[in-house]
């Protein structure tokens, strides 16, 4: 794709640059709109109109969260991924946590999810992220020793560390907010991280979602102060537990209450053939009715015994289990012809059971999430 883009820059970049303010309009008239080679965005057209070449950098390839419990490779580069937010995840190896909530004006019931890697904007309805940290590009030193003043000395005496990529990490929760929480709950042991997880817990509380259901469709969430520090710590602990489930689901033990049936004539198949998936489906009953306690993983494997309560864990209008079933199937994009084969992820990680195991892990995540959420107290 980058080679094709550079080819188009070579053909039309100088012409568009010479057009000045009309460069983007000129670019749209000239460039090849070939969906099989590139998907032109406004930012990429603007880049071409400035005669800016692209350069591939393998270090910018990293993992992103595309849909709930579904990861894809992402190119961490503003030129070719214009919605990439450096403040949250400036590079593929920078760490951060972010509470994702839908934007205002949603049509579905409110839900939220924790991200530990760069998220897609459409995980929820117009995703808004509230991070634990944010990153800023460090300012380059422009003064010499002889010309430094008092302000320069103060700036250079900062305790903020600049990492090898030239970024500094800052707390997204302010010191003022931390002080307010400590005063309200009369507890100096509270940290910003404790606050972050308490907010995640509150956003899951059934009482909160019911009480503010109308407001949550029209505006971003507002977090109430709880009655006392015992309530705060209860929500903070619950929020940590939920975050651990939603972030580290790939390392969890598969849900133990399931029955896996493998056909006898398939047990000798090579692992990548045995666990190959094309499209998972629920077992048929009569007509269009389906038995959601049974997932037909592929022609060789059936997973039985999925608890009905697992489907009570819903993210963006759909149970988490169904997100996995929808995303981990083979699909060919009609415009580009690109084949999205989730089995490639298994091959790239030399893990033939990844998807098979993921289904069982997300069943466990769902059951445990429902258990934790059902135990949350009223917020007031």
Q: Token digits for 23? A: 């460069």
> What is the C-alpha separation between 40 and 196, in angstroms, rounded?
38
Q: Token digits for 68? A: 């709930």
pLDDT of residue 231: 97
Question: With left for phi above 0 and alpha for psi between -120 and 50, is residue 207 left, alpha or beta?
Answer: alpha
- List, in order, residues 6 or more apart from 225 with CB less than 8 Å away: 184
**Residue owning tokens 């896996």:** 260
> What is the C-alpha separation between 117 and 74, in angstroms, rounded?
10
The stretches of the chain forming alpha helices (DSSP H) are 2-18, 23-30, 42-49, 150-156, 175-185, 192-204, 206-211, 213-218, 229-247, 271-274, 320-327, 343-348, 354-374
40 in Cβ contact with 33 (< 8 Å): yes
pLDDT tens track for 291-304: 999 999 999 999 99
> What is the C-alpha separation between 82 and 44, in angstroms, rounded?
8
Q: Token digits for 132? A: 């634990």
pLDDT tens track for 321-370: 999 999 999 999 998 999 999 999 999 999 999 999 999 999 999 999 99
If one compares 156 and 214, the residue with the highest pLDDT of the two is 214
> What is the C-alpha separation between 333 and 67, in angstroms, rounded?
17
What distance lies between CA 329 and its chain's CA centroid? 19
Q: Report phi then psi at 64, rounded to 5.
A: -130, 160
pLDDT tens track for 195-227: 999 999 999 999 999 999 999 999 999 999 999
> What is the C-alpha separation between 88 and 90, in angstroms, rounded?
6
Q: Token digits for 56? A: 């591939």
Residue 43 confidence (pLDDT) above 60: yes
pLDDT of residue 145: 41
pLDDT tens track for 245-279: 999 999 999 999 999 999 999 999 999 999 999 99
Residue 160 confidence (pLDDT) above 80: no
pLDDT of residue 159: 47
First to last CA, the chain: 54
Compute CA distances 372 → 239, 293, 322, whole Å: 9, 22, 20
> What is the C-alpha separation between 93 and 62, in angstroms, rounded?
8
- List, in order, residues 6 or more apart from 30 with CB less than 8 Å away: 11, 12, 15, 16
19 in Cβ contact with 26 (< 8 Å): yes
- Residue % of the chain over a pLDDT of 70: 95
303 in Cβ contact with 359 (< 8 Å): yes
- Other CB atoms within 10 Å distance of the CB of residue 109: 13
Query: 52, 33, 3, 69: which is closest to 326 by C-alpha?
Result: 69
Residue 142 confidence (pLDDT) above 90: no
> What is the C-alpha separation between 221 and 126, in angstroms, rounded?
14
pLDDT of residue 158: 38
pLDDT tens track for 70-100: 999 999 998 999 877 789 999 999 999 999 9
Residue 144 confidence (pLDDT) above 60: no
DSSP reduced 3-state for 117 = coil
């Amino acid at each position: 794709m980058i080679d094709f883009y550079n080819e188009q820059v070579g053909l039309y970049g100088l012409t568009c640059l010479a057009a000045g303010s009309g460069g983007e309009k000129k670019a749209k008239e000239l460039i090849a709109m070939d969906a099989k080679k590139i998907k032109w965005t406004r930012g990429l057209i603007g880049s071409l109109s400035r005669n800016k070449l692209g350069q591939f950098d393998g270090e910018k390839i990293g993992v992103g969260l595309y849909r709930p419990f579904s990861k894809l490779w992402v190119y961490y580069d503003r030129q070719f991924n214009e919605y990439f937010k450096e403040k949250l995840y400036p590079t593929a190896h920078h760490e951060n946590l972010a509470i994702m909530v839908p934007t205002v004006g949603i049509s579905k019931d409110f839900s939220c999810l924790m991200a530990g890697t760069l998220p897609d904007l459409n995980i929820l309805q117009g995703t808004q992220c509230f991070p634990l940290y944010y990153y800023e590009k460090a300012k380059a030193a422009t003064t010499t020793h002889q010309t430094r003043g008092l302000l320069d000395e103060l700036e250079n005496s900062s305790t903020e560390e600049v990492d090898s990529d030239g970024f500094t990490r800052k707390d997204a929760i302010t010191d003022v907010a931390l002080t307010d929480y400590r005063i309200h709950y009369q507890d100096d042991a509270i940290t910003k991280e404790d606050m972050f997880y308490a907010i995640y817990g509150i956003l899951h509380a059934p009482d909160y979602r019911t009480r503010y259901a109308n407001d949550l469709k029209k505006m971003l969430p507002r977090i109430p102060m709880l009655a006392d520090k015992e309530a705060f710590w209860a929500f903070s602990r619950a929020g940590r537990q939920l975050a651990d489930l939603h972030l580290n689901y790939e390392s969890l033990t598969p849900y133990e209450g399931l029955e896996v049936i493998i056909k006898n004539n398939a047990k000798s198949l090579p692992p990548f053939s045995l666990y190959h998936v094309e499209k998972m489906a629920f077992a048929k009953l009569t007509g269009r009715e389906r038995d959601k306690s049974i997932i037909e993983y592929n022609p060789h494997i059936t997973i039985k015994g999925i608890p009905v309560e697992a489907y009570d864990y819903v993210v963006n209008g759909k149970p988490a289990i169904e997100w996995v079933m929808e995303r981990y199937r083979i699909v060919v994009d009609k415009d580009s012809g690109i084949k999205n084969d989730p089995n490639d992820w298994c091959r790239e990680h030399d893990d033939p059971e990844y998807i098979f195991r993921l289904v069982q892990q997300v069943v466990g995540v769902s059951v445990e999430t429902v258990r934790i959420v059902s135990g949350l107290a009223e917020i007031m």
